[in-house]
Amino acid sequence: GAGVSQSPRYKVAKRGQDVALRCDPISGHVSLFWYQQALGQGPEFLTYFQNEAQLDKSGLPSDRFFAERPEGSVSTLKIQRTQQEDSAVYLCASTQTGGSYEQYFGPGTRLTVT
Amino acid sequence: GNSVTQMEGPVTLSEEAFLTINCTYTATGYPSLFWYVQYPGEGLQLLLKATKADDKGSNKGFEATYRKETTSFHLEKGSVQVSDSAVYFCALSLSFGNEKLTFGTGTRLTIIP
């Protein structure tokens, strides 16, 4: 029973580069969430998938951020033309649907934009 | 909009002391409430939850009661241990089709032997 995994764990990007962050949810979990956690802050919601459908992307901070989950399991968060303000820990969480309420979080990817 | 306000830290206590971390919320509708914990070097874990008014969530000696009249969900523990040192996050979700969590800013707790 593996938990949620994320890769890479650490990423350093030069300003202007594109990055792709991967999330492997718990097998069979229907719902998948991405959060952004700035230093010293609580996580903030970015986007939500139910299976392959992206049902809420209201938290994505700009059109440079894009997420996909094409087969309803693995998800990728892509950030284009990274900026220094994108530096944060990006967390992925998955949950069963049907009101279990517990989101299982991955270890996060720490992105540093220089 | 929805928001969570929690006691600012850091909080430092001696072992066996009583702990309270305050949390209040603003929400449209009837949220579910959570405390998540992040131990050093580890990911976020659910500590406890309550899904309706007057429910009490409990786990590992921690308790929190969903108080609708005061819109609060304060975390308490009667006797803390060094192993409780962590960052604690209060959170809410409005689970009608999208259980996204709204978090507070976190409270760093350090327990001194």
Q: Which two tokens stand for residue B96?
A: 């009608």
- Does the beta-carbon distance from B99 to A42 stay under 8 Å? no
- Which residue in A31, A59, A91 is closest to B44 by CB distance? A91
The residues with which B110 forms a beta bridge, in sequence order, are B12
Beta bridge partners of A65: A79
Cβ distance of A42 and B103 shorter than 8 Å: yes
CA A44/CA A75 separation, integer angstroms:
18
User: Quick check: B111 pLDDT over 90?
Assistant: yes
pLDDT band at B1 (very low <50, low <70, confident <90, very high): confident
Pairing of strands B75-77, B19-21: antiparallel
- At residue A100, the pLDDT reads 58
Q: Tell me the pLDDT tens digit for each residue of B21-75.
A: 999 999 988 899 999 999 988 889 999 999 989 999 999 999 999 999 999 999 9
Are the C-beta atoms of B62 and B41 separated by less than 8 Å? no
Residue percentage of chain A with pLDDT more than 70: 95
CB–CB contact A42 B89 (8 Å): yes
Residue A79 has pLDDT above 80, yes or no: yes
- Identity of residue B30: Y
Mean pLDDT of chain A: 93
How large is the average pLDDT for residues A64-85?
Answer: 97
Predicted confidence (pLDDT) at residue A6 exceeds the cutoff of 90: yes
Q: What is the pLDDT of residue A96?
A: 80
Answer whether A103 touches B (CB < 8 Å). yes
For residues A8-27, give the mean pLDDT: 97
Whether B97 has a pLDDT exceeding 60, the answer reads: no
pLDDT surpasses 70 at A90: yes
CB contact under 8 A, B105 and A40: yes
What is the rounded average pLDDT of the residues A62-69? 97
pLDDT grade for B98, boundaries at 50, 70 and 90: low
Burial B23-52 (b: 16+ CB within 10 A, else e): bbbebeeebbbbbbbbeeeebbebbbbbbe
A42 touches chain B (CB under 8 A): yes
**pLDDT over 90 percentage in chain B:** 81
The Cα B93–Cα B88 span in angstroms is: 17
What residue of B is the nearest CA neighbor of A98? Answer: B97
DSSP A26: P
